[in-house]
Structures are given as C-alpha cells and as structure tokens.
Amino acid sequence: MTLAVILAPLLALCVVARGMGFLPVLGAVTAAAMLLDRQEPLQEFGAACVVLFSVLPVWFVSRYQDDGARERSGPAVPFLALGLMIILQLATGTPAAMGNASGHGGAAYLPAGLCVALAGLVAVTCRQAMVWQWAGLLVCVDGVMLSGVIENQIMVVGVTALAGCVVALLGGMCVHRVMLRVTVAPAQGKAGVEHPSARPGGFELGDIDPAGPEPRSLGPESVVAPRIWTEAEAAADDEEPLPRPEKTDQKTASSTVKPEPSIEQAEASEGALRRKRLLDAEAAFSGDERDEEAGLPKAEAEMDTLAPHTESSEKTSADADPRGTVHSDDDADDDADPEDTERASPSAIKEHPPEKRDVRQDVEPDTDQAEAEEPAPEPLTPEMIARDVWLRGYLTERGRDV
Amino acid sequence: MTHDLTWGWFFACLLALALQTGVLVLAAPWFSGWVNRLTGRLTGERRFPAGGRWQDSHHQFRRQGLRLRGDGLSGLACRGALILAVFAACMTPVFTLVPAGFPAPGFFLLCAALVGASLLLGLPLVVQGGTATLAGYTALLADALLLPALVPVLVMAGGQDFSVFLAHLRLLSPAGEGAPFVLMGVALFLVTAWKGRLAGEDLQGQLSGADRALWMLAADCVQLVWITLAGDVAWAGSLALPGDGGAEPWLAQCLAGGAFWVAKLSVAALLLAGTHLMVLTYQRRARVRLAAVFLLGLLAWQVAYAGQSGPQTGNKTASMQDEQESAWRDDGATP
Amino acid sequence: MTFPVFLAALAFAWPLLGAALVMAAPTPRSRELAIWMVGAGCVLAVAVFLFPATSAAAEGWDDDPVQRAGRVMLAFGLLLTVMENGTLQDRLLRGLPHISTALTGLACVAPDPIIGLGILEAALAYGVFVFSRPAGQARAGWALVRTGSVGIFLVLSGLLLPSGSAPAGLMMACGLVMLAGLTPFGQSWREENDTYLFLPFAGAALLLSMRMRTHGGEAFETALVAAGLASVWLTACAGRSDGGQRLFRTFPSALALIAVGAGADVAALLFLCGWCLAGGNRFGRSWAARALACFPPGAPFVGCLLLLSMLSDWSWSITVLTVAGILCAVVRSVPVEGFTQDLWPEDAAGRVACSVLVLTGFLVPLAMMLGAF
C-alpha cells in the first residue's frame, strides 16, 4: 500500500471528470505504483506499457483540434465512478471478503487497479465525446495492467498490453479520421506576417458561426484544451451565460464583430462583394492574407513567386486574388481585421470551387464528413460561407497531412 | 511521549498555541490573496498581488459603514463567525502538537466550530435580501449539510482528542501505511475547494465597513484552517511532538514543521487555483462539494478500515503484533 | 506427433490458410475456392470432434467435447456465411470471415481463458480495421472497438478478483454479456457486418463463458441467467416493430446465456448452433426465424427442452419466467410474413443450414444419451 496506489484512483476520477489531460499523470503514477511494489521484469514491462499508453495518445490528440462535441453528461459522472469504487472496496476490501484471498492479509488494501478500471469504464459509458471515451479505455488499460502486475498475473498483463495496443491504434486511427488537425493559433505575433513559411496555417476559428450548418460546431473554444468550458456551457444552460475568459484579444474581437459581416454578406450580391473587395484592396489585408495562406499553403508558395504577374492580371482575371497586392504592398498595417477575413473568404471560394473538388477527391478519398460532400453552390448564405471556410481549412489540412 | 506534564511544557505549549493561532489568522488573507492571484495567473487574467487581500481588509476596516437593513444582525454574525474561526484556528495544529496530558479538543468540536463559522458567514446574505438571497440560502444549506457529509471522516478520527489522533498518524508514513489518511486529507481539502468563491467573485453581499473586513477575515480564516487540517491529516509526520526528547529538538521540529506547513500551503494553493478553474454554478458547486467530501471520506474510511480495524488506531501495535505472529505461523506452516 | 494432434492443429490453421488463399485468388474464382476451403474446414472440425487429441488435454489445451462441438458449429457458421455472400470485390473483406473464425476458434481452445480474451481482442481489432476502412465508417468502427474492449476489460477485471466472489462474478457476467452482444447491453452491430465478425465473436464469447463458470461462482451464473431473462423479456415486450426485429436476432444467444448460467452446457451448444446458423442478420428468412423461435425440427427446439429440464432443477420460478418469456417472444415478435411458407428453402445456403440444424437437433441428444457429452 503506497501513496501512488491511493493517488491512482483519484487521478482516474480526474480523467473522468475533466478529460484526457490527466492521463499522463495517471500513467506516471500507475507506473510508480507498479515499480514501488516490486522491481522485476514483469513490473518494468507493465510500467513501460502504462507510460507508453498514457503519454502517446495524449501527445497524438494534442495535434488535433477538439471536435467540440457537446457533452450532455453532467458533473455527476465522477461520483458514479466514486460510488462504484466504494462498492467495489466494500465488496472486496472487508476482511470477510478477503478471507479467501491470499496475499493481502491484514494490511490496508485497496483494489486500486480495479478502481481505476472502473473509473475508466464509467468514462467510456457515460461520456459522449470520442476522445473522452478513448481516454476512458486507456484508463481501463492502466487499471487492469496495474491490477495484473500487483496480482502477478503474466497472462493478464500480456493480454492487457495487447488490448492497449489495439485501443491506442484504432482510437488513434479514428481520431485521425474524424478530427481536424490543430493549427497554431493565428496572429499571436507579427512574425508570422513577415515569414510566410512560418506563418500559422488555418483559418480563424472564431470566424465561423458556431450555430452554422456544420454539425461539428467549431467554436472559438474548440482548440485542444482542457475541457473546461463544457461546464461553463452547462452552466449557461442553467442560468445566465457565464463569461468565457481566456480568449486572446483577437478572437474576442472577431467573435464580437462576427454577426455583423455575415448579415452584410447576406444582403450583398456578388457584384457588391467584388466591389467591396476592390475597395478594401488597400485597406488592411493581412487578415485576408493570413486566411488565404491558411487555406492554400501549397498554392501560396507558388503564388509568392508569381506575385507580380498576379498583380498585373488582377483586375481582369477571374482568379483575381488580393494576395498579390498584399505582397507587393507594404505589410505595415498587419492588424488582422476579422471583417476582411470574413469578407474575402467567400470570394476566394467562389472562384475556386472546381479546384477544391479536385483537391478533395484525390487527397482525401475517405472523408467521412457529411458536410464535405458538395462545394459551394451558387447562392451564398452566411451559413454556406461559414461552411466553405471550414471545408477549405479542413481539406487543406488533410492535404497537408497527406 | 510524556507521561507527566511539567509546568514548563505547559507554558511552552500555551505559547506555541498562541503563536499558531496568530500565524493562522495573520496568514489567512495572504493565503487567500495568493490563491486568487494564482487563479488569475492560470486563467490569464491580472489580479491583485497576494497582499492585496490583506490591504483590502485593512482598508475596509477603517471605512465608515453604510447602514442598511438588517445590518445589526449581520454585524453580529460576522463577529460571531470571526470568533468561531479564531477558536478553530487555536485548536488546529500548525507546526506542533500538544503533549498527551494537555487539554485538547476532539475533531468533532473542531469541525463543528468551522461549520458554525461558515453558517454565520452565510447569514448576512440571507438577512440583507436582494439578489444574493438565493445564493445565501444555498450556502447555508450546503454548510449545514457539510457536517453530515463529514461523518466518515469524523468516524475515522474517532472520539479521541485530535492531537492524540495526529500523534498516532505521525508514526505512519504517508507514502506507505498512512496512505488512506492522505485520502482523508483530500476529502477535508475538498471542503474548501468549491467554497463560495467563483474566480474572484465573493459572496459577501452588501456588507460594508468593518463588518465587511471582519467577514473577509473570518472567511479567509475558515478556509486556511480547513486547508491546514487537511495538510495535518494527510501528512502528520511534519508536526512536532513535544516531549520526545528535550526542548531543543522540539524547537527544531517546530521550525521544520513551519517550513513544511508553508510547503503544504503552496501545494494546496496550486490545487485550489486548479479547482477554481472549474466553472460551476453555485447550486451545482454545493452538490459536487458535498458528494465529493462524503464519498471520498467513505472511501478513505473503508481503505483504512480494511487494514487497521477502523478508527481504533490505538491498538495498532497489537494488530501489528498479530500480523507478525500470523506471518510467523505461516512461515512455520509452509516449510 | 500423433494423428489427432496433427488433425487438431490443422483444423485451427485451416481457416487461416483458407483466408490466405481466398485473398490471393482472383476475384471471380474466390467464392468457389472459399466454399471448397470452408467445406474442408467443416470436415476437419467434425474429424477433430470425433478423434479428440487426448494428449493435448494433458498439456492444458482444452478438450471438452462441448467445446469441440461448438467449434464445429463455428465452422458451419462460416460455411453458411461464405455460401450466402456473393463474390466480394474487397480482398480484405473476403478474407475477414475466415480469419475471424480462425481466431475465435483459437480463442476457444486456448489453455487459459485470459489468452482467449486476448485473441478475441485481436480478432475484433482486425475486423474493425477491415470494416472501418471505407469512408464514413470511422465512428462506427470506434463504437465496435469501444464496446468490445469494455467487455474484455470487464471480464479481465473479474478474472483478477478473487475467484468465487460476488463482484468477480458480476463483472465477468457483464463483460460476457457485452461480448455476446446481447441486445440491450451489447454492440450496435449493423446488418452488413453481422455475419463476418459478430457471429463467430459472440459464439466464442458463449463458449468462453462456459469455461469461466468455475471462476465466476454463483454470482456469475445468477447474473448470466438474469441478463438472458432480461433480454428474452425485452424481446417479448418490443413486439414486431423494427426495433423488436433487431432484438429478435440475438434471441438464441440470450437463451444460450441462460443455459450457461443454469449449467446446461449441451443446451447452450444447441442454442449456439442456432445462433451460428440462423442468428445475426439471417433472422429475416422464414426458415431462420422458425429455427430461432425454437420451432420443432431444429437444434434450438431441442435446446429449449434440455434447458427447461435443467432449469426446473435449478429454480421453478425462473423456469416459469423463461417459458413465459419464450412464448411471449415467439407470439409477439416472430416475423409473420411468409412464416409458414418456404418449409424447404430454395437456396443452397438455406438448405445446408436447415439440414445442419435438424441433424444437430437429432444427433446431439443421441450423443448425449451415448455419453459423448
């Protein structure tokens, strides 16, 4: 009975309550609990497996964006796990139940591994988000492994290692297929504007209307982070909307400005859009530029070299892109104006749909998103614009991966 | 352990108790301000420096209060809460225990004093009416239910003096045999975890003037006393026990205990700031807190009970002897 | 190496060989080849059943006649799957039923049920990998992995607890019920995946549950019977709606779990036969529905009789509940359309299945009387 054995169920509860972030700590504590028990090859193997299965998935998930799935299960779930642990302890830890069990006579005894596994099972069954369920399964792996190592059952440890591999691999595959790659949060500094290669990819997440048609509802908070705001949203359902701190200034700005341009665009006809774009040509374009780059990283590299040509042919060609002007113009005003981002993206999308379709077909044959089916149709409602922005970011991200 | 309490030890203990009380009461606003600042750091906001809370209390104390409806009662409640909190602080060991013959309170009395202080702290909200009334009633209810939720923890400590209980725990290493009591400490810690403060927003209602200062000081004291209690239970080994050797080792142990106390407080401040990151509504917060305290206490009790035959840690040596004997018997049987 | 041992080893390796050949063969010829290979596999399984490798039993490999007969059922289930399906384009999908049957057969025979669980997990992983390759299947594949892994972890946790204790039995029973895919608790298998992976998988879970009874103790048996009864009654209550039909597909495995809980292994074997040959997504055919609903000429009917005779020793109230549940389910949720027609099915697969069901129904009680089980 060591402190690590006590801490492991608590950390498993933290995983149930908060999400995947606690998984590496749980893995480390579980490994410590194994190694403190005894130091033999079995224990070392188990500890190595546990650390591997706890650290690697978290690192892997951190490269993807949170899918923003709304969690309908409330804060009562960890208490369910805690109650199950108590029942388990009651059923196995009492001297009467331990009478026929050998090995732990008298000493303080907690079936820690099974408690951890129970917590993981609760997380798998009660949480809806895929990543959370994955974390729950990995917690199960940790728990069963700990229990098997402590009980010194080689078979169980081996089978659990195999199951852990299966869960980690298949879960990682599923994550790779259903989630977006994370992009570096844009415009944290001005360095990104000067160095195109180092520029953050991806569109501004805050530009997309969270209530839009895309089922995955990318909100500004859906960057990989501890799942704090699900609680806030649950609270917002209950009573007054709670404030959401911890957004960068720009995101706040973009989300506050957001409704206005979308209304504008709903009214604006195509011609008006084009005119507005020309009018805005000398205004701040860095937001636009950033957006363009995020969208088309490869094309951007070519366009950088072709910038003068683009500039000369900009007014006539249908493929006119304000990027050229930006590169030839001064980069002096590089405050990212979300209106520009919002305004320029539909035009770019309108001009590129066939190309987009090609990209989708040869780059990502197994997209399983329902909304990835058809590129932009003719009449552009704000929802469609938002979806297109999303789709573009998604496709190029996947393309970059491939 | 001393069997006869000399007058010298008696006075030394009195002095130590007074010192502990003073340290607790004076450090409480600092600790609270520090937690607040850490929370701000974690959430990316700028908050006042740690001493700001103390200055705020000081400043409020000198201000002229506005007279509002029900202010007399709430002023009384604030004073009562502060008295109870200081009373609890005086019973809480910070860096030293008291020797065996010294009159020491039980754990139940300590908890009851703290819960009473929390109840009195919730009273001004209810008295004054207005928007905070509902929150005040919730806080009152949650604090009233806290004592039943603490039952498993109270059972673990048993009816003995708290100091004696800790002196038993002192012999157990928290990384080994004393691990269930770490769980108990976590349960005690969770009592304060989702207390009425939501990331910088106080539930102090519309108190003003000296009442407000007293309220703040009492609330900070209650929080710090709970935290100190949790730290004591989780790792009793850091506390000094008078009468082991002479006065000099005791003093050295006291100094070390004080340093360990600061370390425990910094860990607790980190954890508290972490819990403040969780945004919950106050009703839900109360439920989460009560359930967590009760269930964790139950788990700790069960884990401890499985090994040490429950709260009677007094006959621990006997049970250990039994274990050894049974082990010998096993050894004798196997070959 | 004696002949029976060689035979047994060949019987396990045969479906893998078949999978390799079927995957390697050109698409137009693959179906014919698969049928030949699987037919030989069935013959091998029957041969293994008839000539048990007694020397292997001494080394810990399982040699229970019921288990061997169960593996024969798995082989025939594979035969039926291959005969029912047309020529498949996807090579991996073509080989999947062979591989899953081979792995589940290996899982059943493994010296330790824990190893069997590991092999089942591997089979599940391979199946899910094959299923979720096409676009749009990622989440469905994840759901399969999740449920299967939860079941396996539950069983493992139960096996780690002291044998015979109540929590161990409960956890193992819950896990096995999830692995067997009992309708309210189990997997959300979809139609097209059913027979490829789910039939052998659930069959292996049933066979494993017989071997875990020694570890589970009384709580294990009670929990299995309770879960089976709940499933039967839920089927009865759901009626003939769409959901009810879906519940009906695992009717034999629910009865088999009751039989395992009651200790009637032979009855469980007969229900397993019904499950492998008529369960899953075949419940829409009239002959399969008749077999599932325990109508007279067929293995499940005989199994029902055996189960009731064993159950009446166990507990009268549960017997009455089971009988009432079966009757209700048969009356309320058997698909009615074309139920009485088509007594002798037209297609070859149906004919094979019918004859195997009837033969098993006759032969198993005969073998039981002769003392083979």
B259 shares contact with chain A (CB less than 8 Å): no
CB-CB under 8 Å, C162 with A121: no
**Partners of residue B198 on adjacent β-strands:** B201
Residue at B172: amino acid letter = L
Q: Average pLDDT of chain B? A: 79
CB-CB under 8 Å, A105 with B326: yes
Structure tokens at B314: 């007094």
B26 shares contact with chain A (CB less than 8 Å): no
Does one domain contain both A142 and A219?
no
pLDDT, one tens digit per residue, over B281-335 is 777 778 888 888 999 898 888 888 765 443 333 333 334 434 434 433 343 333 3
Q: Is residue A186 part of a domain?
A: no
Q: How far is CA C82 from CA A362, B127, C98, C349, in A?
A: 34, 79, 9, 9
**Can you say how many angstroms the Cα of residue C94 is from the centroid of all Cα atoms in its chain?**
20
Distance CA C60, CA C201 (A): 23
Q: How many CA atoms lie within 13 A of C352 on its CB side?
A: 19
Residues contacting residue A198 through CB under 8 Å, at least 6 positions apart? A191, A192
pLDDT, one tens digit per residue, over C31-89 is 888 888 889 999 988 888 888 776 666 566 667 788 888 888 888 888 888 888 777 77
Of the residues A7, A14, A86, the best mutation for testing chain B's interface (the one with the most B CB atoms within 10 Å of its CB) is: A86
Reply yes or no on whether the pLDDT at A277 is more than 60.
no
Domain count, chain A: 2
Structure tokens at C291: 């077999």
Interval B141-154 mean pLDDT: 89
CB-CB under 8 Å, A114 with C133: no
- Contact yes or no for C281/C234 (Cβ under 8 A): no
Which residues 134-193 of B are in CB contact (within 8 Å) with A?
A: 174-177, 179-180, 182-183, 186
Dihedral sign from CA coordinates of B21, B23, B27, B29? positive
Chains with ≥3 CB–CB distances under 8 Å to A: B, C
Reply yes or no on whether the pLDDT at C293 is more than 90.
no
Specify the range with the lowest mean pLDDT, choosing from A150-159, A377-386, B127-136.
Answer: A377-386
**C-alpha closest to that of A93 among B303, B296, B312:** B303
Give me the pLDDT at residue C118, please.
93
B44 shares contact with chain A (CB less than 8 Å): yes
Does one domain contain both A212 and A170?
no
Interval C129-147 mean pLDDT: 85
B303 shares contact with chain A (CB less than 8 Å): yes
Does one domain contain both A230 and A358?
yes
Q: Is residue A373 part of a domain?
A: yes
Host domain of residue A131: 3-96+108-178
What is the pLDDT confidence band of residue C217, given thresholds at 50, 70 and 90? confident
Does one domain contain both A274 and A164?
no
B209 conformational bin, left if phi > 0, alpha if psi -120 to 50, beta if neither: left
Q: Identify the DSSP state of A182.
A: P
Residue at C130: amino acid letter = V
Which residues 268-307 of A are in CB contact (within 8 Å) with B?
A: none
C129 shares contact with chain A (CB less than 8 Å): yes
Does one domain contain both A171 and A221?
no
Q: Which helix (H) or strand (E) holds B235?
A: none
Give me the pLDDT at residue C112, please.
85
Does one domain contain both A29 and A119?
yes
Q: Is residue A188 part of a domain?
A: no
Q: What would the DSSP string read from start to end of A272-337?
A: HHHHHHHHGGGS--HHHHHHHHHH-HHHHHHHHHTHHHHHHTTTT-TT--HHHHHHHS--------
Q: Is residue A51 part of a domain?
A: yes
Q: By CA distance, what is A232's nearest residue in B? A: B279
Q: Is residue A394 part of a domain?
A: yes
Q: Identify the DSSP state of B1.
A: -
CB atoms within 10 A of CB B93: 25
Q: How far is CA B5 from CA B147, B240, C226, in A?
A: 34, 16, 65
Give me the pLDDT at residue C226, please.
92
Q: Is residue A275 part of a domain?
A: yes
Q: Do chains A and B touch (3 or more CB pairs under 8 A)?
A: yes
CB atoms within 10 A of CB A39: 11
**C-alpha closest to that of A337 among A183, A206, A200, A184:** A206
CB-CB under 8 Å, C161 with A121: no
**Partners of residue B161 on adjacent β-strands:** B106
> Residue length, chain C?
373
**Nearest CB to A170 within list C112, C128, C167:** C128
Does one domain contain both A79 and A210?
no
pLDDT, one tens digit per residue, over C246-288 is 677 778 888 999 999 988 888 898 888 888 888 766 766 777 7
Distance CA C39, CA C22 (A): 13
Reply yes or no on whether the pLDDT at A366 is more than 60.
no
CA distance B176 to chain A (A): 4
Q: Is residue A103 part of a domain?
A: no
Could you give the ipTM of this predicted complex?
Answer: 0.88
A122 to chain C: which residues are within 8 Å by CB?
none
Does one domain contain both A275 and A159?
no
B265 shares contact with chain A (CB less than 8 Å): no
Give residue limits of the domains in chain B: 7-310
CA distance C320 to chain A (A): 32
Interval A279-285 mean pLDDT: 40
Distance CA A327, CA A354 (A): 26
Provide Rg for chain B, Cα atoms: 21
- Contact yes or no for A52/A200 (Cβ under 8 A): no
Of the residues C114, C147, C155, C156, the best mutation for testing chain A's interface (the one with the most A CB atoms within 10 Å of its CB) is: C156
Give me the pLDDT at residue C240, please.
67
- Contact yes or no for A126/A77 (Cβ under 8 A): yes
CA distance B275 to chain A (A): 11
Give me the pLDDT at residue A45, please.
92
Q: Average pLDDT of chain A? A: 62
CB-CB under 8 Å, A171 with C145: yes
Reply yes or no on whether the pLDDT at A335 is more than 70.
no
Chains with ≥3 CB–CB distances under 8 Å to C: A
Does one domain contain both A255 and A375?
yes
Distance CA C156, CA A67 (A): 32
Distance CA B238, CA B232 (A): 8
Reply yes or no on whether the pLDDT at B58 is more than 50.
yes
Reply yes or no on whether the pLDDT at C183 is more than 70.
yes
A6 shares contact with chain B (CB less than 8 Å): yes
Give me the pLDDT at residue A139, please.
94
Does one domain contain both A154 and A24?
yes
Does one domain contain both A297 and A341?
yes
Q: Which helix (H) or strand (E) holds C183?
A: none
Q: Is residue A294 part of a domain?
A: yes
- Contact yes or no for B190/B152 (Cβ under 8 A): no
Specify the range with the lowest mean pLDDT, choosing from A175-184, A370-379, B170-179, C363-372.
Answer: A370-379
- Contact yes or no for C227/C258 (Cβ under 8 A): no
Of the residues B41, B151, B280, B302, the best mutation for testing chain A's interface (the one with the most A CB atoms within 10 Å of its CB) is: B302
Reply yes or no on whether the pLDDT at B261 is more than 90.
yes
Does one domain contain both A140 and A210?
no
